[in-house]
Amino acid sequence: MADTTLNPGAELERLVDIMRQLRAEGGCPWDREQDLRSLRPYLLEEAFEVLEEMDRVAHGGSWRTFCEELGDLLFQIVFHAQLATELGEFTLADVAKAIGDKLVSRHPHVFGGGQRMEGAEQVLDNWAKLKAAEKKRKTGREGSVLDGVPVAAPALMRAERLTEKASRIGFDWADVASVRAKLTEELGELDEAIAAKDRDAIEHELGDVLFSLANLARFVGAPAEDALRMAIRRFTARFQHIESALRTEGVALGDATLAHLERHWQDAKAREKALPPPTWVPRAPVTTLRLGVADLPAQRAFWDALAPRLGWTTRRAPAADQAIYEEGGLRLTFEASATPTAGLRLVLTAPSPAAVERLPAILAALPGARLIQHQAGHLTFQDPSGLVWEYATPVE
């Protein structure tokens, strides 16, 4: 539940102060070394992690985890604003004021007593005109209707946004049928290029097909980038189901026939269809378990090697003194601590008895691991930090 007693302004001031201390003399060495160039990959990663959490929420994931990722992205903005503050360029207050002023000026129908807008399309048209007027005031020219779509944006997203901007001045197809006909035309030209085995022509025509698909996505209201990302998510889940099924059967990944692989693929699709449809109401919150360890590098090395063998995901930690691993509804966060977590016995669910039987050999190859007990469908081991873990199949 949201904490309605928190004051957004006070919490943002606290975050700015924390950032200031991290960058100050005697602050964090890593934070003090960063500049605009070094922070670029982190800004991108945090933005993509927010997008990933949005997808997880749509499939029943935790809003709380989404909140955490938004915080990580906000921290990047605060970090960049602090760099600018140190150079006397601008502060976070300037950033907030600039976007606030822009939103007010571009919504005269809400804040300025302007003409009432009858729908989203009219709002977008008016937004484009106001934006062009702003640019002319600042630069002396209106610029292009297509301005404002980052060149570095994903290509499908960029194609969709460019056609959307062009449509605002009437450069658009009449209806979805016309767009679909154009896609058919482009597919025919791609077929001709493939038949001619002309590499340059194939690339050209494939680009036209993808551009037409992005345009079609805009018309039907299903963003191409989102649709492809969801298709990748489905492919990954289905393929990992195949891998898990083959391991359970004791079949090496490279030894299965195509028919065998296809059988498990169809099983994965059938399981998918049996699941509840995506929703924006969380059903399965992600539980975060934070554990303090004395030797984080040793712990990270151990779990970086073990996590993928368990089918877990290794996530990039927002801080250098953390290591994060996730599986389904559970997230493990190991943190460097002078007072390590002790006395806990933690239970991990194994997907099958075969998975339990494979684990001793895996642990034997990992430094710092100690096998405590092993019996059918159940084992107990200790990691480098001394934490004790049980790995077992669910009890029927």
| Predicted structure pTM score | 0.50
Between CA 162 and CA 211 the distance in angstroms is 10
Encode pLDDT of 370-388 as tens digits: 999 998 888 999 999 999 9
Half-sphere exposure of 242 toward its Cβ, with a 13 Å CA cutoff? 21
pLDDT digits (tens, 9 = 90+) for 267-307: 988 888 876 655 443 333 346 788 899 999 999 999 988 88
| CA distance linking residue 68 with residue 105, whole number of Å | 31
Nearest to 216, CA basis, from 248, 244, 178, 264: 178
User: Three-class SS of residue 308?
Assistant: helix
pLDDT tens for residues 188-244?
999 999 999 999 999 999 999 999 999 998 888 888 888 888 888 889 889 999 999
Identify the pLDDT of residue 280. 44
pLDDT at site 281: 38
Q: Is pLDDT at 103 greater than 70 in this prediction?
A: yes
Residue 66: Cβ-neighbour burial (10 angstroms; 0-12, 13-18, 19+): buried
114 falls in which pLDDT band (50, 70, 90)?
Answer: low
Look up residue 170 and give its DSSP letter: T
Please calculate the CA angle 95-96-98 and round it to the nearest 5 degrees. 65
